[in-house]
A and B are shown apart, each in its own frame.
Chain A
Amino acid sequence: MEHATAVGRHGARRAPARIGVLGFLGELLLTGGVVVGLFVVWQLWWTGLAPAAEAREQVTRFYAHVEPAAPEVVEPDGLRTDDVPEVAQVGHGETLGVLIVPAWADKTQNRMPVVEGVTPDVLDRAFAGHYPDTAAPGQLGNFSVAGHRRSYGNNFLHVPDLEAGEAVVVETADTWFVYRVTGHEIVTPDRTDVVAPVPGKPGEEPDRRMLTMTTCHSLRYGAFGNDHRWIVHAELEGWLPRSAGTPDVVAEMEAP
């Protein structure tokens, strides 16, 4: 009896130390798990805050430096298709216009700065990055932009909304370029031919005025993965001097 009690007491004295070590390890592992979880929170939420604000500011700055567009609403048949004006290429990191996606109104930013370059210093600021070697807006060839889908501002999050016929508008200092989506494709990240002057046919001479948007996509995880790219192609419907009016697809949206 005495002996048993002694063992019992002995055990009782040792137990807290063992629980202490295990508890320490357990808390360490739990903390590690929480840190991994926080990393996901950081990536999906935190990384978007500052860039989204900066992108909005950049859009505001763009509009502050150009004449306001004429308010007259112009239907698609009022758009011009002749004498498409040239647009000067700009240097890396410079803003060449604003990308407007009416289908994304009230969802994510439907106006974002189009900035030259597709490196992280451009894309991670919630800009639409213009592939440097692709055509300027409205020109023959393939005006191509990239944007994040689910991080750094979620710019292109709702890319599946862009079904054939949806409008995508590029607004430069003087001109509206109205494109209509022709379709989309899902490709592996190495398929640079999607931004070729003739999409899918590198080396061919372009005879159409295309626009291409590229963003993340995963066959298994959708917007949360990065193993594929969601590619949207659109073709120029027409252009309009900003001094002559505002395309109806833009006028119907809320003011920025």
Chain B
Amino acid sequence: MWTWIFRHLPGPAAVRALLVLIVMVALVAALFVWVFPWVAEQWPGLVGRPDVAVSGTSSQG
């Protein structure tokens, strides 16, 4: 996948490496800011959601 992207980017190798790096950083940022919070909300059990004793009876799951 990354090889494919790398091969299809224009410019010399150094520029392409930089572009791939930028894409990777942007992807990680998108994961941290939007995707992971959304995932955590969809599957509350995944994140050890509530550290509260009432979790068994409350709506927070």
Contact B51 A149 (CB under 8 A): yes
Stretch at the interface among A51-59, A161-169, A190-198: A190-198
B1-18 interface with A by 8 A CB criterion? 1-4
Residues of chain A within 8 A of B55, CB atoms compared: 189-190
Contact B48 A151 (CB under 8 A): yes
Tell me if B's interface is mostly helix, strand, loop or mixed.
Answer: helix
Q: Mark A200-214, 1 if CB is under 8 A from B, else 0.
A: 000000000000001
Residues of chain B within 8 A of A190, CB atoms compared: 53, 55-57
Residues of chain B within 8 A of A229, CB atoms compared: 51-53
Residues of chain A within 8 A of B50, CB atoms compared: 118, 120, 123, 146, 189
In the complex, how many residues of chain B place their beta carbon closer than 8 angstroms to a beta carbon of chain A? Answer: 23
Alpha-carbon gap, A151 to B36, bound state (A): 14
Residues of chain B within 8 A of A189, CB atoms compared: 50, 52-53, 55-56
Select A214's contact among B31, B36, B52, beta carbons within 8 Å.
B52
Is A156 among interface residues, defined by CB-CB distance under 8 A?
Answer: yes
Contact A226 B48 (CB under 8 A): yes
- Which bucket holds chain A's interface residue count? 35 or more
Given contacts A27-B3, A192-B56, A192-B57, A39 and B39 within 8 Å (CB-CB)? yes
Contact B51 A35 (CB under 8 A): no
Alpha-carbon gap, A39 to B56, bound state (A): 25
Residues of chain A within 8 A of B49, CB atoms compared: 120, 226
Select A42's contact among B2, B31, B58, beta carbons within 8 Å.
B31
Residues of chain B within 8 A of A151, CB atoms compared: 47-48
Residues of chain A within 8 A of B54, CB atoms compared: 118, 131, 192, 195
Q: Mark B32-56, 1 if CB is under 8 A from A, else 0.
A: 1000100110000001111111111
Q: Which residues of B contact A (CB under 8 A)?
A: 1-4, 28, 31-32, 36, 39-40, 47-58, 60
